[in-house]
Amino acid sequence: ETGVTQSPTHLIKTRGQQVTLRCSSQSGHNTVSWYQQALGQGPQFIFQYYREEENGRGNFPPRFSGLQFPNYSSELNVNALELDDSALYLCAFLGDPWDTQYFGPGTRLTVL
Amino acid sequence: GESVGLHLPTLSVQEGDNSIINCAYSNSASDYFIWYKQESGKGPQFIIDIRSNMDKRQGQRVTVLLNKTVKHLSLQIAATQPGDSAVYFCAEINNAGNMLTFGGGTRLMVKP
């Protein structure tokens, strides 16, 4: 087990709604990344947070936003949901050895 | 753009045989690669990593080979077991050290 937890496990929303996904780690590591994984594909990098600041962003529109809290847990917010946002959303904390990212179990989001 | 890809989408092996999963990468400047295993309904699980100053690295029943000349990465699994059935991804870390780029994955099926 990686010690990374995500909530909720599953979520169903309708187009146009907003969603907040959460991620935390027992490790105390201060860097968290979020990824979107469409069915049958590899994860795609959304963004990374380091000490509460965004530290790199992938090719995702501004309606994907995030937060990191002083305890290093994190939220991913998606506004104006679209059907194509249906995916598994993964968070990962940086751990030892350096650069290795340890993933949580993911949140399965379905947009109807 | 830079990408990490896989040669075979599905690999079927007999229990007890050795498995080899291949991956090509295009960013010659990449210096860190990771293999992940993803079981159905779970997040990617770290298997083994390798840096570009190495050609080979061994773990428990797994070996990763890196050929920088042809930009090729492989994962060898010895004595494949039913529990090895999963999708395997190779990933490379970008120069900023904050983003993993994944390939599309290879599904490994182990026949009893």
Sign of CA dihedral A11, B91, B10, B38: negative
Tokens of A45: 């990098």
Length of chain B: 112
- Cα B78 to chain centroid, rounded: 14
Distances (CA, A) of A66 to A33, A56, B36, B54: 10, 12, 25, 36
Tokens of A97: 């050895």
- Chain B residues with CB inside 8 Å of A55's CB? 98
Over range A58-79, report the average pLDDT: 96
pLDDT digits over B42-54, tens only?
999 999 999 999 9
B46–A102 C-beta distance less than 8 A: yes
- Tell me whether strands B10-14 and B106-111 are parallel, antiparallel or unpaired: parallel
A10, A36, A100: best mutation site toward chain B, by most B Cβ within 10 Å? A100
| Minimum distance, in Å, between the CA of residue A64 and any CA atom of chain B | 16
Over range B29-38, report the average pLDDT: 91
In this structure, what are the phi and psi dihedrals at residue B15, rounded to the nearest 5 degrees? Answer: -55, 135
What residues of chain A, 42 to 71, have a C-beta less than 8 Å from chain B?
42-45, 48, 50, 55-56, 58
pLDDT digits over B10-25, tens only?
999 999 999 999 998 8
Q: For residue B41, name the pLDDT band (cuts at 50, 70, 90).
A: confident
Tokens of B13: 């092996």
Tokens of A50: 């380091």
- The pLDDT value recorded for residue A99 is 63
Pick A104's closest partner by Cβ from B43, B93, B101. Answer: B43
